[in-house]
Amino acid sequence: MIVTLTGPSCAGKSTLEKLLVAKGFSNAISTTTRQPRAGDVEGEAYYFVTRENFEFGLALDEFVEHVEFGGNYYGLPVQEVRRLERLGKPIVVVCEPVGQKQIAAWCKDNGYPCFAVFVDNPELVICNRFMLRAADDLIDTHLGYPDKVDAGIASYARRMKEMMTTERAWVGEAWASDIYNLRLSEFNETNQDEVVEIITGVAQKAPHST
């Protein structure tokens, strides 16, 4: 089965993904057309391809879901899902709402159980996590490349605007609809074990291919 994790930035999706992987889930590796960054490893962070190759794959319907962001494509290849299926483990995917809808539609058409989770936290918690992340990054940038600090601040300012507008709208949509099987208004150390238990329980009851 495929478990999708959706929610605003800094809400805890990556933490939940790591907890599920520790319980036996496989995290799917997406394909992107963006350039590798320092430390990125092919087949670990992403599968890196050219824009032409990505669009060729789109034409052949080779992606479960895809999105274009910042001038680059990101998508989950059908081939990656099939690869993980052969491992016999449930799959966990972090995605935005548009990606979640595409994955749910693909699962329905291809006989896969899909369990959708929306992860959120109070705005103050999210803002605090974001500021800590930005501060750490900007300090590193300032120490190594002081001429890039202004650009870094501008980038984080744009990201915060996106978080406070588009991503907060996701929250209202999540609670107003029934597309999510599990909606978390808070996700932290006090309930993470319970949440993981709920999701693993659903995965254990899912039908398995033979």
For 81-97, the DSSP string reads HHHHHTTT--EEEE--H
pLDDT given for residue 79 in this prediction: 95
pLDDT given for residue 150 in this prediction: 78
Number of Cβ atoms within 10 Å of the Cβ of 207: 9
Q: In whole angstroms, give the CA distance from residue 143 to residue 152.
A: 13
Do 74 and 31 form a contact (C-beta atoms < 8 A)? yes
Residue 202: name the closest of 78, 77, 92 by CA: 92
pLDDT given for residue 159 in this prediction: 83
Q: How far is CA 205 from the centre of its chain?
A: 24
Do 159 and 52 form a contact (C-beta atoms < 8 A)? no
pLDDT given for residue 143 in this prediction: 64
pLDDT given for residue 210 in this prediction: 37
Q: What is the pTM of this model?
A: 0.87
With a cut of 70, list the residues of the chain below it in pLDDT: 141-146, 208-210
Q: In whole angstroms, give the CA distance from residue 205 to residue 195.
A: 16
Positive/negative CA dihedral, 101, 42, 136, 139: negative
Q: How far is CA 15 from each of CA 11, 20, 90, rounded to the nearest angstrom? A: 9, 9, 17
Q: In whole angstroms, give the CA distance from residue 16 to residue 198.
A: 12
pLDDT given for residue 136 in this prediction: 79
pLDDT given for residue 202 in this prediction: 95
- Bridge partners (DSSP) of residue 67 are 74
Eight-class DSSP state of 207:
-
Residue type, 172: G
Do 5 and 84 form a contact (C-beta atoms < 8 A)? no
pLDDT given for residue 144 in this prediction: 65
pLDDT given for residue 69 in this prediction: 80
